[in-house]
Every structure is written in structure tokens, then in C-alpha cells.
Structure 1
Amino acid sequence: MAFKKSLKYILFLVLIVGLGLLQSFSKKRSGSKKINKITVNFQDDKALFLSPDMVNKLLIQNVDSLTNQAKSKLDLHNLECKVIENPYVARASVYLTLTGQLETTVTEREPIARIVSQSGSFYIDSKGVKLPLTENYTPRVILVTGIETPEAVQNITPLLGKIYEDEFLKKELIGVRMKANKELEFQVRSADYKIAFGKINEVDIKFKKLKAFYKKSFTDQIMKDYKNINLKYHNQVVCTK
């Protein structure tokens, strides 16, 4: 009886050791396999500023070639960091498949406005992150002038985000200028009049007033008669001809 128990115990140990050796061998064999393909995917198929070839170049910086390189020698975190260093990239994920394929998924930053200042011109995303201009892509976004400091960019970014997320405002408001008194003035697509927005306050209320005014005025066919629309006054839209 005691012999049978000892035998079972020995067989169990042999099994455990065997599985460990097998796993170690399998891991070593997998690590020695070569990268046979590099695939770049864009989140929601949105490739705006970058292309798969451009991402590939980011991946192989300081590396002669990723293909035919042993999987065990790859530093995936380092590869991700190289991709994320690009100003157009919001997030990146780099991983290996069981078949030896290097997969990269990129989420690009989405521009919501173009800032034109004395120091230069650039796009910003919904977080106020600067995106350089590029010949690869020219987004149709609102043009912003009169913004000269990083603080001013951050202050106006939430307002610009609301415009970008609203189909009507995004289509109609094509330009905004911050005047010396820190008040905003909008340029519109449909006519030559200006919209005096005032300071960056009560943003939702002002846009709600504007949309309600547009709905009524376009119905009455009177928008073409105005030169200025003023949203600065509480519960009022003041127009001048």
C-alpha cells in the first residue's frame, strides 16, 4: 500500500517536471521564431495624418529591420513609445501574435480647430494638444485668431470642442477671433454678418440662443438683412442692420 502511494507521488513529480520542461522548451522555441509580418491598423479605420508606411518608419527607428528578428529580442514597450512620440498619435498598442506577426493599432489625435498666431499656425485636438501642419491632410476645422498664449489656447479649447461636436455649429461657424478685450467674434459660412459672442462664459446658453434664433430667422427669411448678431445680453439676441 505504501509502495503504491510512493509510486503515485513519484509519477506525479515526474509529470510536473515534464510539463515544466515542455513549457520551457516551448517558450524558448517561440521566442526564437522570427517576425514574419508587420501590420498597422488605425482605430475606427481613421488614418488622417499618418499612413501605415509612416508608422512602420516610426517602429524601425534605430532598428535596421523588424522582420526576421527573433521575437524574444523585441522590446514591445519601447516600440509603443516610439510610435506615441509622434504628435499625431494619441494612443498606440504594439503586440505579437502567435503566428509571428507584429500588430500595431494606432489612434490618431483628431483636430478640432486651427490656431493662427504671430508665432505660427497649428491644429489642436480636444485636449488642446498642438498638432503641426502637414501636407498629408488638411482638415476642415474652424480658424482661430487672436490667441497668442498657451493659457489662451487651453481656455478656448472647451468652447471649440462644443462647436466641433455640434453638426450645425461645426458647419456654420468657420472662424473666431479673440479681440483685445478678450471677447470673441465669430465669422459664419452662410452670410457676411459677424456674431458677437462676448466673453467665454455661459457658452451653452449662448449657443442655444443662437440656434433658436437661426431656426426662426431662416424661416422668416430675414437673416440676409443683418450685419451683426449679438449674443452678449442675457436672454436676448440683439441684431443690427
Structure 2
Amino acid sequence: MKSSTLINIQLIVILILVVFLYSFTSSRNEKRKIAKPQIEFLNAESPFVTHEMVNNLLIDNFHGTFSIQKDGVNLKKIEQTLNKHSMIDKSEVFLSVDGKLKTIVKQKTPIARVFDNNDSFYVDYKGTKMPLSSNFTARVPLIYGDINNRYEQDFVELLQTIYNDDFLKKNIIGIKILPDGSIIMKNRNYSYDIIFGRTIQMERKFNNYKAFFQKAVQDTLIDNYTKVNLKFTKQVVCTK
């Protein structure tokens, strides 16, 4: 009986000791000063946003210093601050056990550049405006012509299709929008106009263009054309 009681007392003491040590450690961890932030970019191949820019945003959020306790850090507020930046699509901010502030940044992805009178800006993958950057210039198709009210979903899908396709992304460098909403495209290496028409049956039109291009290059006739018309979805009509 005495032995059983002694064991129970020992277990209680051990439990109290564990709780105390856990509370003590947690308290010390919360009072730990955060270390210099670690910044990671998911799409670092397009450096529209630099480490310095993100670091400055973090410093502004901490009122000019990182010398604060971990329990005083509002991670959600930091993420909201970063996500307001015109070049940032999404961010994730978290604290490691050793007090390091880790920031993962996904930049916006430009898929076209618009020239509208004296203004110029990017259209990102989600179809929203994105300002130009002094740090990096994206190699994307140039859009010009009747720009107003041309950001319908079908036009964004057209830009997304070009961006997602290796062949189109490499070859389509210009898109002119006519007043009636129809589109003319330019190829990187050839001077002919690609008469695309309206943004309907886009997949079939692009497939027709790819088939034409492969055959025309093999036949060495491609330099003779001035227009390649894709409006007739069952055939490609070329003009010399």
C-alpha cells in the first residue's frame, strides 16, 4: 500500500515538474526577440520584388526595428501588408521555434504588356493591372489598339492560353485589338499578320495555326505570306 502511494506521489511530482518546465520554456520562447527575417520567393526567376523591398516592408510593419518579442508579432497583419503591394500575389509569414521570421512571397505573374496612349502596364495571370518594374522587364506579348473595355474573361483566357503554351509563348509577340473586338497577332520571326478574329473557338484556331506553321516552315513558303487568316476554323487562309 505504501509503495503504491509513493509511486502515485512520484508521478504527481513528475507531472507538476513537466508542466512547470513546459510553461517556463513557452514563456521564454514568447519573450525571445525575433531574428532577422528569412525571405524566400516562389518564382524568383522574375525578380519584380527584391529581398530589400520585402525587408523594408517588414521593417515598416515593425516600426523600424526587429527587436521585439515573439508574442508581439501579428503574423496576419504582416501578410496583409505584404499582399497590398502591387507586385505581390500572395505571401505567407510564420515564426520558427528559434525566433526566425520566415516570409514566403509569390510575385504576380505578368502575361502581357499594354500600351494605352501614354500609359503602359502589365496584365497579370488573373487579369488585373500590374505596374511596370524598374528591377525587371517581362518578355510578354505587347497589346495595343482599342484597349478600352477589353478585359473580359475571354480575352484574359486568350492571354493565359498563350502564356501556358510553349510554342505560342515563344512566337506570339504582339496583339492588336480592333474597334470591333477582333484581334490581329504578330509572330516573333516573321512579318505576316495573324488574323485571329474574335476570341471564340480559340483552341481550334491555335491548333490550326500550329499545323500551318509546321508545314509552312518545312515547305520554306512561310516568308511569302503577308496574312495568315484563322477566322475560318476549318481551314487556314493565307495571302501572299
> What are the within-5 Å matches in structure 2 for residues 89-128 of structure 1?
89-118=88-117, 120-128=119-127
Matches within 5 A, 1:55-74: 55-74=54-73
**What residue number does 1:133 align with?**
132
Deviation at 1:79, TM superposition (A): 1.2
2:206 aligned residue: 207
Cα shift at 1:19: 1.4
Q: Is the 8 A contact 1:35 1:68 kept in 2?
A: yes
Please list the CA deviations of residues 54-103 of structure 1 after superposition, one character each: whole Å capped at 9, or x if unmatched: 00111122433343221121111211111111121122111222332211
What's the CA shift string for 1:154-212, capped at 9, x where partnerless? 33111111111222211221111121121111122222211111111111111111011
Look up the match of 2:237. 238
Secondary structure in structure 2 of the residue aligned to 1:163: helix
Structure 2: distance between partners of 1:44 and 1:229: 36
Three-state SS of the structure 1 residue aligned to 2:169 is: helix
Q: Which range moved further: 3-12 or 195-204?
A: 3-12
Supply the AA of the counterpart residue of 2:148.
Answer: E
Q: What's the counterpart of residue 148 of structure 2?
A: 148
Contact 1:35–1:66 under 8 Å retained in 2: no
Partners of 1:131 and 1:81 in 2: how far apart? 18
Task: Give me the TM-score of the superposition, normalised by structure 2.
Answer: 0.92
Q: Conserved in 2, the CA contact under 8 Å of 1:123 and 1:130?
A: yes
Match of 1:78 in 2: 77
Q: Which segments of 5 or more consecutive residues in structure 2 lack a partner in the other structure?
A: none
Query: For residues 46 and 142 of structure 1, what CA distance do their matches in structure 2 show?
Result: 18
Which residue of structure 2 aligns with residue 52 of structure 1?
A: 51
Identity of aligned residues (%): 34
Cα distance in structure 2, aligned partners of 1:50 and 1:4: 68
Q: Matched residues in 2 for 1:46 and 1:69: separation?
A: 33
CA shift, 1:221, in A, is 1.2
Worse-superposed segment, 201-210 or 53-62: 53-62
1:206-225 aligned at under 5 Å gives the runs 206-225=205-224
**What is the SS of the residue equivalent to 2:33?**
coil
Which runs of no fewer than 5 residues in structure 1 stay unpaired?
A: none
Contact 1:46 1:108 in 2 (8 A): no
Take 1:13 and 1:72, find their aligned partners in 2: how far apart are those partners? 31
- How much has 1:119 moved relative to structure 2? 7.9
Give the secondary-structure state (helix, strand or coil) at the position aligned to 1:112: strand
Deviant stretches of 4+, over 4 Å? none
Matched residue count = 239
In structure 1, the partner of 2:39 is 40
**1:10 maps to what in 2?**
9
Q: Residue type matched to 2:93 in 1?
A: V
1:40 partner SS: strand
